[in-house]
């Protein structure tokens, strides 16, 4: 399985008469793009707004991020989701780099939505401030969940994926500025030099705890709640086989963009054949009942051992109840002799004094922390809000509130905000490109 990612590096995005890419400039025919998005009858009104790094703009409520791409052979970028079921991870895919399509609620937010500041102190708290963001700001007719804290946000999330495919098609017939190649030989057919290196597997635990369909991450369009751990080629993850869900406090979330560009997978590829033998990805999940958690952990450990893994990197999407899955998997891997390093965030309270994970284990003695979800953040007002700032406190975003006896409301009259890290869009970056560090006092 060989994946070629043909990259086009976007320097700016503007509106014009034709959707096209030339000399680093992505031009969007806004009317045509919106007409394409609004073929979905559930999107009742929509606009496209551009937000560039350094601009005095705040974006909220952000529901999803997607990298604009197209498959050169015409297959859907997200098989089983935006088109029929076709294999991912093989062949040529073109990507517009340095940019993302954001799904943004025009009015209504939900528990799993977040905020992005394009400049100032808040820009350091999310990777997406570094990108040129094409914001699909829309409203829908999904009245059944308008006043629910947990929303599926299907129309908007699917709209962002479809818009990303529309934009990606601008470079379908063009020659890329760069081609990244990703290829792993079958495990049993690798040369002796590679086989002699420490064998490492990457274990991913995407969010899948909601038993009702529509909230969880999808694997080839299949709800991750309905699956047991399975072995995947890492190319599949980089090539659209997995899309993000709508359920998870937002700093912990893995957006679709994150999975399309998973830094941990790319780093493992770089080390493959040099310092490690990268076996591939065990795609696990997160569960609710202890029996389900233990079953998934047993599947992961058996698979890692059968593949011949010496070590594993284990990453969870979330915190709280998912910590039990994370530690169960950690223990199971260590019990079969697979040395494991975990990557996760912590929930240590606003004062930083609480136990970092709901469940701990002496075997989990190598964990990379990506930050405290409850850390309080105060940010000044911005000149422009894309979306609706009131959603941060009004609609139950994980890190916002309408009122607090000591702190007052999250959204102040002057447009400044106080919130928990929970609300920073994909801020903890458990998939590998967090810029946070720790200080010892």
Q: H/E element holding 342?
A: strand 339-346
Global confidence as pTM: 0.97
How far CA 226 is from CA of 210, 236, 287, in Å, comes to 10, 19, 10
How far CA 129 is from CA of 10, 264, 300, in Å, comes to 15, 20, 35
Predicted local distance difference test score (pLDDT) of residue 8: 98
pLDDT in tens, 183-223: 999 999 999 999 999 999 999 999 999 989 999 999 999 99
156 against 147, higher pLDDT:
156
Instruction: Give percent of the chain above pLDDT 90.
Output: 95
Range from 8-12, 324-328, 394-398 carrying the lowest mean pLDDT: 394-398
pLDDT in tens, 52-66: 999 999 999 999 999
- Residue 70 pLDDT class (50, 70, 90 cuts): very high
Cβ burial, residue 365 (10 Å; 0-12/13-18/19+) = exposed
Q: Which residues pair with 378 in a beta bridge?
A: 418
Predicted local distance difference test score (pLDDT) of residue 9: 98
Residue with tokens 């009122």: 403
Whether the upstream peptide bond of residue 61 has omega within 30° of 0, thus cis, is yes
C-alpha span between 378 and 362 (Å, rounded)? 36
Kindly report the CA angle at 250 between 375 and 234, in degrees rounded to 5? 120
Predicted local distance difference test score (pLDDT) of residue 2: 97
Range 104-108 average pLDDT: 95
Predicted local distance difference test score (pLDDT) of residue 47: 98
Predicted local distance difference test score (pLDDT) of residue 436: 78
How far CA 397 is from CA of 211, 295, 318, 392, 425, in Å, comes to 21, 32, 15, 6, 11
pLDDT in tens, 304-358: 999 999 999 999 999 999 999 999 999 999 999 999 999 999 999 998 889 999 9
Predicted local distance difference test score (pLDDT) of residue 441: 73
pLDDT for residue 247 is more than 90:
no
Range from 66-70, 288-292, 300-304 carrying the lowest mean pLDDT: 288-292
Residue with tokens 């076709």: 86
pLDDT for residue 435 is more than 80:
no
How far CA 166 is from CA of 35, 71, 120, 169, in Å, comes to 11, 11, 32, 5
- Residues with Cβ within 8 Å of 217's Cβ and at least 6 positions away in sequence, in order, are 206, 207, 208, 224, 242, 243, 244, 245, 254, 317
Predicted local distance difference test score (pLDDT) of residue 418: 97
pLDDT in tens, 248-280: 899 999 999 999 999 999 999 999 999 999 999
C-alpha span between 180 and 240 (Å, rounded)? 16
Predicted local distance difference test score (pLDDT) of residue 148: 87
Range 145-162 average pLDDT: 93
Cβ atoms of 157 and 245 closer than 8 Å:
no
Token duo for residue 389: 């700032």
Cβ atoms of 271 and 198 closer than 8 Å:
no
pLDDT for residue 143 is more than 80:
yes
Predicted local distance difference test score (pLDDT) of residue 425: 96
- Residue 437 pLDDT class (50, 70, 90 cuts): confident
Burial of 187-210, coded b for 16+ CB within 10 Å and e otherwise, reads beebeeebeebebbbbbbbbbbbb
Residue with tokens 């890492």: 234
pLDDT for residue 133 is more than 80:
yes
C-alpha span between 355 and 366 (Å, rounded)? 16
Range 222-249 average pLDDT: 96
Residue among 394, 412, 383 at smallest CA distance from 51: 383
Cβ atoms of 26 and 11 closer than 8 Å:
no
For β-strands 57-66 and 99-105, DSSP reports them as antiparallel
């Amino acid at each position: 399985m060989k994946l070629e990612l043909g990259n086009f590096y976007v320097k700016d995005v503007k509106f014009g008469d034709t959707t096209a890419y030339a000399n680093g400039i992505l031009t969007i025919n806004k009317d045509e793009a919106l007409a394409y998005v609004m073929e979905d009858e559930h999107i009742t009104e929509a606009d496209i707004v551009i937000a560039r790094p350094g601009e005095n703009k705040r974006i909220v409520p952000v529901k999803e991020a997607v990298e604009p791409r197209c498959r050169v052979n015409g297959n859907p970028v997200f098989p089983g989701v935006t088109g029929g079921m076709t294999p991912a991870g093989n062949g040529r895919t073109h990507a517009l780099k340095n940019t993302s399509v954001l799904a943004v609620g025009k009015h209504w937010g939900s528990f799993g939505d977040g905020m992005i500041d394009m400049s100032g102190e808040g820009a350091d708290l999310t990777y997406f401030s570094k990108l040129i963001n094409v914001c699909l700001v829309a409203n829908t007719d999904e009245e059944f969940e308008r006043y629910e804290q947990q929303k599926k946000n299907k129309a908007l999330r699917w709209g962002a994926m479809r818009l990303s495919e529309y934009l990606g098609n601008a470079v379908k017939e063009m020659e890329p500025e760069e081609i990244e190649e990703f290829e792993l030989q079958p495990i049993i057919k690798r040369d002796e030099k590679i086989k002699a290196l420490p064998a490492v597997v990457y274990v991913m635990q995407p969010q899948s705890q909601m038993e009702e369909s529509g909230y969880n991450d999808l694997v080839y369009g299949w709800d991750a709640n309905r699956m047991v751990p399975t072995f995947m080629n890492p190319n599949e993850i980089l090539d659209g086989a997995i899309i993000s869900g709508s359920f998870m406090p937002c700093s912990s979330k893995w957006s679709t963009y994150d999975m399309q560009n998973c830094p941990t997978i790319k780093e493992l590829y770089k080390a493959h054949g040099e310092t490690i033998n990268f076996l591939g990805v065990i795609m696990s999940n997160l569960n609710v009942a202890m029996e389900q958690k233990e079953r998934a952990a047993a599947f992961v450990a058996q698979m890692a051992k059968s593949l011949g893994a010496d070590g594993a990197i284990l990453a969870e999407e979330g915190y709280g109840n998912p910590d039990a899955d994370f530690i169960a998997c950690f223990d199971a891997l260590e019990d079969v002799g697979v040395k494991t390093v975990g990557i996760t965030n912590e929930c240590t309270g606003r004062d930083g004094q609480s136990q970092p994970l709901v469940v701990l284990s002496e075997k989990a003695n190598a964990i990379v922390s990506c930050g405290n979800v409850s850390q309080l953040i105060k940010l000044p007002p911005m000149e422009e809000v894309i979306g609706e700032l009131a959603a941060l406190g009004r609609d139950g975003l994980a890190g916002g509130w309408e009122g607090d006896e000591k702190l007052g409301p999250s959204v102040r009259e002057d447009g400044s905000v106080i919130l928990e890290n929970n609300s920073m869009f994909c801020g903890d970056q458990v998939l590998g490109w967090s810029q946070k560090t720790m200080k010892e006092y």
